[in-house]
Amino acid sequence: MADEDLESIGRHCQFEYCGQLDFLPFRCESCRSTFCLEHRSESAHRCARAGEWARRRNNTNNQNAGLATEKPTIYNSDQCSHLSCKTLINTLTDPAVRCPNCNHQYCLKHRLREEHDCAKMTPLGARPGNQGSPNETLRSMFAKVRTWGKDTSKAATTTLTPKPKPNSPAARAVQLNTMKRSAKGDAGVPADKRLYLHVVGTSDTQASDPPRGDFFYDSRWKVGRVLDDAARRLHVENLNNRVGEDGRLRLFHVESGEFLEFSDAIGMEKVKQGNTIVMLRGAGVMLGKE
């Protein structure tokens, strides 16, 4: 093959004093010249426009970024309203879909009514009908919760013959043993750290028969963590990290008649095995006025 034919296939390295014929030459995107394998880098051929290609690429990326919104974070983005979903919505990759029934916003996965249990959701912005003021509603709930602990004790002892006296040590032991047989919880909690509680959910319409169940928790868990777990298991809407006091859930300890603080351990002295805790929504508003 003639030399002219070889040169038509490859390219000579344009680095000074080199000139090597390379059949697979490299092109520098900064100075637009071609080089051999040895001199392909900007430093190797002492590029007169070193870094220009990188600056052009950065400018292009910055222009594209200017068309987009700020990078989503948990502080500047909304979260899907599905109870178990943590997807950030209202972003470029995950647009929000508002449900026409419950008025909440969801990610694409939970946008359908069937996917987010729309029938169980209270429409956003709606108020319970014929319930009076928020304080009257909460006071009626307090009247109810004080009876739930007693009802639980009665139900646990109705099958005994002879029947033990109410609130006697024997009755409480029977109640606790019955609770342990059906209670659910995290299997990873050590047996000696398990605190068995009867948990009553809440309803924004103050239904006469709210969800309830027997569960066990690690006595070292904070009250806030217990509330999150209980709300998830009883399918109670928990938006504590996104709403004000009028929509936040609080845990009410029936036996002591007090609200439990989020930062306290659930195994505090006042909470005993077999006790009842109730989720109340908006109680913080009334507490703040007292």
Domain of residue 239, CATH code: 3.10.20.90
Q: Does residue 5 sit within a domain?
A: no
CA pair distance 76, 79, nearest whole angstrom: 10
Instruction: Note whether residue 6 is domain-resident.
Output: no
Residue 150 lies inside a defined structural domain of this protein: no
Tell me the pairing of strands 26-27 and 258-259.
unpaired
Same domain, 46 and 114: no
Question: Do 51 and 77 share a structural domain?
Answer: no
Same domain, 99 and 42: no
Same domain, yes or no: 178 and 282: yes
pTM: 0.46
Flag whether pLDDT at 66 surpasses 60. Answer: no
Check if the beta carbon of residue 140 is closer than 8 Å to that of residue 133. no
Give pLDDT tens digits for 237-275: 888 887 777 778 888 888 888 889 888 999 887 898 888
CB 25 within 8 A of CB 10: yes
Position 257 scores a pLDDT of 83
Domain-located, residue 136: no
3-class SS letters over 29-41: CCCCCEECCCCCC
In a domain, 187, yes or no: yes
Please count the structural domains in the chain: 3
In a domain, 38, yes or no: yes
CATH of the domain at 105: 4.10.1110.10
183 and 223 inside one domain: yes
Higher pLDDT, 133 or 216: 216
Q: Are residues 40 and 114 in the same domain?
A: no
Structural domain includes residue 131: no
In a domain, 77, yes or no: yes
Q: pLDDT tier at 72 (50, 70, 90 boundaries)?
A: very low
> Quick one: which of 138, 278, 277, 244 has its CA closest to 268?
277
Q: What single-letter DSSP state applies at residue 164?
A: P
Residues 195 and 251 in one domain: yes
pLDDT digits (tens, 9 = 90+) for 14-25: 888 788 887 778
**pLDDT at residue 223, rounded to an integer:** 92
Together in a domain, 116 and 209:
no
Return the biggest CA–CA distance within the chain. Answer: 114
| Residue numbers of the domain that contains 84 | 72-123
- The neighbour count for residue 243, using CB atoms within 10 Å, is 15
pLDDT digits (tens, 9 = 90+) for 122-164: 666 554 444 444 444 455 555 555 555 455 544 444 444 445 5
